[in-house]
């Protein structure tokens, strides 16, 4: 049995930089047609010069595979309209991080005051730039995304022409917001479709499943599954694949992030097949994102087959999800 996917897209991807970039970029470039690249490298991508230089490094690291890095800027409240006009020639979105909320986000937004952010958000609305948001407060870890819901609502109602992507949603409350506001969209990760907090910390702690936002409850996972398996037009796949070296994961002070890029399509195909929903997978991994971002990706056909595949122990110094485990589907060919 085989299943083909046309121009699969990863709409939330961490490629890091330098040596790590050279390890992980080819793994995404092999099976994805394009990816929305997050800007929270060190230092964060806040200038057009830095953005273009980073894009060049990604292209070089990707090798000969057909893969387009879709670039983003690290959101700052002091960007001018003229700067954003120039940036709109090179980026499709800006990524807003609350300050200190996740990896390399210390320079993020300190206040979610609408009036402070208004000049930038109004300019983005006028220019057709998309606002991508890591939506968490600094509250109790299990409540952070739910608490951020009121901020999403404030953004959506105050700037109705601004497309807002709730990144890597994990709660049933975030799912409910999709049908409440026309301009709210979401990415959903592979790992949040598969695990709950119990899988991370219910028995022996599994550091390679620790991520931010943290995995939630089973009812939250079921809400994510429902909209994904039914090809809800406002959700799209974003892996949030976040590589860290083993020394940063298997230690005290474990870094947050699950590395899924090289096994994402195989695992998603297995999941959708298990739920008799393979017909919805193309929309989830490509078609919805093309419509939301008004984007036509390079052509790539990924052919998967229902033949077991063993996930490697590591890619370089990065441990993937399902390391040393067998997946029911494998990559057969990429055209």
Contact 194, 263 (CB under 8 A): no
Domain tally, the chain: 1
Q: Where are the beta strands (DSSP E) in the chain?
A: 2-6, 9-13, 34-37, 68-70, 72-74, 93-96, 130-133, 164-166, 184-188, 235-237, 301-305, 309-310, 326-327, 330-334
Task: Show the tokens assigned to 243.
Answer: 């590589």
Q: Which residues pair with 321 in a beta bridge?
A: none
Q: What is the pLDDT of residue 139?
A: 95
Specify burial of residue 254 (Cβ count, 10 A radius: 0-12, 13-18, 19+).
middle
The confidence score (pLDDT) of residue 107 equals 86
b (16+ CB within 10 A) / e for 156-168: beebeebbbbbbb
The pLDDT score that the predictor gives to residue 102 is: 86
DSSP state of 109: B
Distance CA(131)–CA(18), nearest Å, equals 27
CB 239 within 8 Å of CB 13: yes
Beta strands in 38-129 (DSSP E): 68-70, 72-74, 93-96
Residue in 49, 211, 57 with CA at minimum distance from that of residue 136:
211
Closest-CA residue to 139 (of 153, 149, 131, 130):
149
- Cβ atoms of residues 77 and 107 within 8 Å: no
Predicted local distance difference test score (pLDDT) of residue 255: 97
Please report, for the domain that includes residue 260, its CATH number: 3.20.20.140
Q: What is the pLDDT along the chain (335 residues), one digit of tens a residue?
A: 999 999 999 999 999 999 999 999 999 999 999 999 999 999 999 999 999 999 999 999 999 999 999 999 999 999 999 999 999 999 999 999 998 888 888 888 988 999 999 999 999 999 999 999 999 999 999 999 999 999 999 999 999 999 999 999 999 999 999 999 999 999 999 999 999 999 999 999 999 999 999 999 999 999 999 999 999 999 999 999 999 999 999 999 999 999 999 999 999 999 999 999 999 999 999 999 999 999 999 999 999 999 999 999 999 999 999 999 999 999 999 99
Task: Clarify whether 17 is annotated catalytic.
Answer: no
Tell me the C-alpha distance between 309 and 322, whole Å.
Answer: 11
* Domain extent for 137: 2-334
| 3-state DSSP assignment of residue 9 | strand
| pTM attached to this predicted model | 0.97
Contact predicate 95/40, CB 8 Å: yes
Interatomic CA distance for residues 167 and 41, integer angstroms: 17
Cβ neighbours for 182, distance < 8 A, ≥ 6 positions apart: 160
Catalytic residue among 240, 273, 287, 317: 240
């Amino acid at each position: 049995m085989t299943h083909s996917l046309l121009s699969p897209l990863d709409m939330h991807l961490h490629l890091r930089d330098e040596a790590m970039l050279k390890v992980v970029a080819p793994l995404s470039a092999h099976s994805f047609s394009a990816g929305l690249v997050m800007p929270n490298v060190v230092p964060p991508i806040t200038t057009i010069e830095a953005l273009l230089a980073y894009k060049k490094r990604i292209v070089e690291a990707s090798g000969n595979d057909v893969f387009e890095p879709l670039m983003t800027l690290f959101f700052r409240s002091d960007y001018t309209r003229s700067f954003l006009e120039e940036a709109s020639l090179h980026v499709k979105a800006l990524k807003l991080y609350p300050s200190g909320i996740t990896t390399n986000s210390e320079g993020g937004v300190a206040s979610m005051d609408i009036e402070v952010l208004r000049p930038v958000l109004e300019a983005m609305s006028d220019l057709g730039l998309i606002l991508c948001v890591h939506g968490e407060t600094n509250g109790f870890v299990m409540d952070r995304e739910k608490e951020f819901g009121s901020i999403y609502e404030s953004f959506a109602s105050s700037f109705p022409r601004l497309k807002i992507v709730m990144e890597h949603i994990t709660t049933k409350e975030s799912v409910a917001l999709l049908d409440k506001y026309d301009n709210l969209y979401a990415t959903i990760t592979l790992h949040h479709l598969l695990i709950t907090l119990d899988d991370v910390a219910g028995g022996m702690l599994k550091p390679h499943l620790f991520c931010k936002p943290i995995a939630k409850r089973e009812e939250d996972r079921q809400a994510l599954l429902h909209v994904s398996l039914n090809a809800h037009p406002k959700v799209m796949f974003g892996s949030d694949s976040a590589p860290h070296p083993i020394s940063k994961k298997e230690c005290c002070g474990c870094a947050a992030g699950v590395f899924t890029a090289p096994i994402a399509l195989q695992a998603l195909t297995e999941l959708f097949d298990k739920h008799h929903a393979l017909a919805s997978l193309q929309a989830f991994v490509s078609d919805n994102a093309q419509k939301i971002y008004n984007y036509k990706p390079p052509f790539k056909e990924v052919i998967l087959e229902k033949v077991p595949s063993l996930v490697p122990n590591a890619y370089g110094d990065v441990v993937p999800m399902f390391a040393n485990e067998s997946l029911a589907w494998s990559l057969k060919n990429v055209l």
